[in-house]
Amino acid sequence: MTKRLLFLALAGFLLASMLLAADISGTWTGMMSFGDNQIPLTYVFKQDGAKLTGTVASPNGDLPLQEGKVDGDKLSFFVMVDMGGNPTKFVGAGTLKGEEIALETKSPDFTTTMTLKKAK
């Protein structure tokens, strides 16, 4: 019985450690390639369990993240951007890798990847 309780306590501690390690709250920066143009982006993430909120600062201003989620080391969200009077949905999906996030962004017209780095 004692071994079983010790095992459960250890398993719970490891699970809690993994969940805490995956917290992506904070400021992250990167460059999005759009054709020959490089667009600087700054993401401010706020994680509350599996819920992800925040903004992305872009040349179009601050855009709120919508339907943000975190599942282990995976994250997803979308933002709506006014593209010349046409609302366009940009869907982001990424993987946390230490102090970096490998992020893929898709819209109806293109897909691009970028690396976000946590601001110090």
User: Could you tell me the CATH number of the domain that includes residue 91?
Assistant: 2.40.128.20
**1 in a structural domain:** no
Which of 3-7, 44-48, 66-70 shows the lowest per-residue confidence on average (mean pLDDT)? 3-7
**53 in a structural domain:** yes
**105 in a structural domain:** yes
Average pLDDT of the segment spanning 85-99: 94
pLDDT at 84: 87
**13 in a structural domain:** no
Domain around 100: 24-118
**6 in a structural domain:** no
Distance separating alpha carbons of residues 20 and 35, to the nearest angstrom: 37
Q: Which residue has the tokens 């691009």?
A: 112
Which of 14-23, 47-56, 61-70, 84-93 shows the lowest per-residue confidence on average (mean pLDDT)? 14-23
**98 in a structural domain:** yes
Distance separating alpha carbons of residues 25 and 119, to the nearest angstrom: 11
**113 in a structural domain:** yes
Confidence category of residue 29, pLDDT binned at 50, 70, 90: very high
Number of domains in the chain: 1
Q: Which residue has the higher pLDDT, 3 or 50?
A: 50
Q: Is the pTM of this model over 0.75?
A: yes
Q: Is the pLDDT of residue 18 over 90?
A: no
pLDDT at 106: 94
Distance separating alpha carbons of residues 79 and 74, to the nearest angstrom: 17
